[in-house]
């Protein structure tokens, strides 16, 4: 078994899709250390040849893995080289889908179907709302939220909120549960009035302790006893108000976001 492997994401557009595909697969092999490189906007055979030569030079014959989302077959075929492991994100799937739909695909780089202006406007609005309602700001405007994420410090509220807004077009606010709320198992009126849109985030105390210790070493805030007590009080608060909660421990932001949407029966913006 390999203990380390070079991974290359190549694309005729931004490379985001190639990265998403590759990482979704490579994360299933935690025992292997992956070194990642991305080469976006490869749109000529000359650029492709130069990129392949660089890949082969960097990897020194160690059979690197390439994930590709390049549409042009002439450019794509350059990377299907004997000294690499080549994974094409489109070829077989696009051809099969074309047969299924009895239609001819465009085969152009980037997104082939652009979002309507109204959908894009909704996405931008969600992002702006998320930024303005981070960490308990403007709680009096929670009536406008699609999701309100509650949790103790460092449970993952902000990154999940940003993901929901930027990737799914969901207007998300997040609210920190401080000692004022935890000790009394109390939630502000703006949250209680909108609790059908609220969801809690919690974490294993040991993990919370590790995260806090990195930023505020040897502080009372980072103590294991503090983390245990805050997690316990947060869960009791969620139960008191009948608010569903999700553990963020050992879960990706994507997984947590999907669980939140499932819990609250929310569909992403198209």
Note the pLDDT of residue 113.
46
Q: In what order do the strands lie in the sheet with 198-202?
A: 172-176, 147-151, 198-202, 245-247
Q: Inform me whether the pLDDT recorded for 52 exceeds 60.
A: yes
Residue 7: per-residue pLDDT: 95
With bands split at pLDDT 50, 70 and 90, how would you rate the model's confidence at 197? very high
pLDDT value, residue 153: 96
The pLDDT assigned to 110 comes to: 56
The full DSSP string for 133-188 is TGGGTTGGGGGG-SEEEEESTTSSHHHHHHHHHHHH---EEEEE--HHHHTTT---
| Averaged pLDDT for residues 190-216 | 96
C-alpha 10: how far from chain center? 20
Mean pLDDT of 101-119: 62
Residue 268: pLDDT band (50, 70, 90) is low
Q: What is the mean pLDDT of residues 40-46?
A: 92
Q: Tell me, what's the pLDDT at 219?
A: 96
Nearest CA to 247 among 182, 199, 187? 199
Residue ranges of domains in the chain, CATH in brackets: 4-101 (3.40.50), 117-264 (3.40.50)
Confidence (pLDDT) at 36: 93
Asked if 210 contacts 166 with a C-beta cutoff of 8 angstroms, the reply is no
- Token pair of 262, please? 């499932």
Residue 245 pLDDT > 70, yes or no?
A: yes
Distances in Å between the Cα of 157 and the Cα atoms of 15, 94, 125, 161, 200 are 27, 37, 19, 6, 9
Average pLDDT over residues 236-263: 94
Tens-place pLDDT, residues 120-175: 678 889 999 999 999 999 999 999 999 999 999 999 999 999 999 988 889 999 99
């Amino acid at each position: 078994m390999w203990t380390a492997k070079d991974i290359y994401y190549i694309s005729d557009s931004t490379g985001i899709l190639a990265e998403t595909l590759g990482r979704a697969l490579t994360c299933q092999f935690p025992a292997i250390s992956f070194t990642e490189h991305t080469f976006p906007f490869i749109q000529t055979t000359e650029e492709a040849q130069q990129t392949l030569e660089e890949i082969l030079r960097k990897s020194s014959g160690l059979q690197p893995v390439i994930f590709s989302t390049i549409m042009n077959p002439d450019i794509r075929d350059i990377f299907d080289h004997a000294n690499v492991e080549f994974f094409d994100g489109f070829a077989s799937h696009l051809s099969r889908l074309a047969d299924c739909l009895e239609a001819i695909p465009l085969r152009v780089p980037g997104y082939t179907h652009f979002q309507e202006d109204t959908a894009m406007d909704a996405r931008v609005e969600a992002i702006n709302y998320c930024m303005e309602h981070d960490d308990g700001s403007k709680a009096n405007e929670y009536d406008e939220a699609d999701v309100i994420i509650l949790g103790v410090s460092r449970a993952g509220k902000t990154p999940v909120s940003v993901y929901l807004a930027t990737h799914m077009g969901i207007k998300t606010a997040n609210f920190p549960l401080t000692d004022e709320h935890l000790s009394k198992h109390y939630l502000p009126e703006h949250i209680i009035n909108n609790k059908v849109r609220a969801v809690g985030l919690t974490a294993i105390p040991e993990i919370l302790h590790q995260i806090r210790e990195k930023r505020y070493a040897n502080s009372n805030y980072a103590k294991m006893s503090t983390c245990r007590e805050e997690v316990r009080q947060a869960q009791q608060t969620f139960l008191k108000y009948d608010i569903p909660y999700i553990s963020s421990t050992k879960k990706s932001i994507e997984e947590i976001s999907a669980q939140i949407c499932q819990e609250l029966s929310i569909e992403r913006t198209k």
